[in-house]
Amino acid sequence: MNPNPSLPSTNGDIGHHGAAPRESGDPLTLAIDIGGSNIKALVLGSMGEIVRPRESLPTPCPAVPAAVLDVIDRLAKSLAPFDRVAVGFPGVVQKGTTRTAPNLSPAWKDLFLEGELEQRLKVPVRVSNDADVQGFGAISGKGVELVLTLGTGMGSALFVDGILVPNLELPHHPFEEGSTYEQRLGQVALDRMGAELWQASLSRAITQLRATFNFDRLYIGGGNARILDAAQLPPDVVLVQNILGLLGGLALWTSVQGTSLVRAPHSEGAHCVLGESIFERTPGVTSRIE
């Protein structure tokens, strides 16, 4: 049951902008990445190819559900048609319901986002944490792989042999001097400390996370990853493109057909989606920041 009443849309019913599934069995996926600064979207084919290029609109302020959903409506209209939707959300997501959104608004608590979007867009929707989605676009599916996204806030995802460990929420764990990881590595910290001190904090965090998780590979993405110099990072740390937050959305549909990853994180096959990496199937796109 939806704990929140349906939110009104000022943009009207856009269901006709979606499309019925094609007889060829080759559905189009509208991938959406909700961020603290911008909301981005593009359309993907069944092999991860970009069918319609990325569009972006500013995240409204305040970023309450009705305002954010109206922005999604606008992007959906511009990028239609599509058959299904994959959403990366900056907070804890359980069975399509948002539990927290520290960089958006308290109003997101216990909102059945999947249902709200399905009602508006008239196509099936799956929602997962944004760092989890980015991770599915980056991982090799082998060993312990940790993902950090650095932007307005901080996101994290952990995979073991390609299987997602759900709702890690590492950013809110204690880091150093009474501060959490996000308090040291989010945008506010970067603005306050400057790039040099911020990068020093990140270096200490990497050392601590390596000791905690014994990861085989750490992937760092998000808007603020561009500040970093890949040549100065340890060999087990890889910078990845921010577009992964969209490309990884295909995994919400192709990894466990008919079952949302957050509903069945240990389902067999969850690690097979991007074991070869989605970028090996997407012409002109590389996962690494050049």
pTM of the model: 0.80
Q: What is the mean pLDDT of the chain?
A: 84
Q: Is the dihedral of CA 112, 116, 121, 122 positive or negative?
A: positive
Nearest Cα to Cα of residue 278 among 59, 49, 16: 49
In terms of Cβ atoms closer than 10 Å to its own Cβ (0-12, 13-18, 19+), residue 51 is middle
Residue 133 CA to chain centroid, in angstroms?
4
Relative to beta strand 154-160, strand 97-98 is: unpaired
Q: What is the pLDDT of residue 24?
A: 55
Helix (H) and strand (E) counts in the chain? 8, 15
Q: What is the pLDDT of residue 92?
A: 92
Using CA atoms of 77, 78, 80, 86 in order, give the dihedral in degrees to the nearest 10.
Answer: -80
Using CA atoms of 252, 109, 130, 72 in order, give the dihedral in degrees to the nearest 10.
Answer: 80
Q: What is the pLDDT of residue 16?
A: 38
Contact 130, 151 (CB under 8 A): no
- Within 8 A by CB and 6+ apart from 17, the residues are 76, 77, 80, 81, 121
Alpha-carbon distance of 67 to 60, in angstroms, equals 6
For residue 16, the one-letter residue type is: H
Q: What is the pLDDT of residue 13?
A: 46
Q: What's the number of CA atoms in the CB half-sphere (13 Å) around residue 248?
A: 34
For residue 176, the one-letter residue type is: E
- Residues in the chain predicted with pLDDT less than 70, given as ranges, are 1-25, 255-290
Q: Which residues of 110-147 are buried (b: 16+ CB within 10 A; e: fewer)?
A: ebbbbbbbbbbbbbbbbbbbbbbbbbbbbbbbeeebbb
Retrieve residue 168's tokens: 């890690």
Quick check: helix, strand or coil at residue 105? coil
Q: What is the pLDDT of residue 168?
A: 87
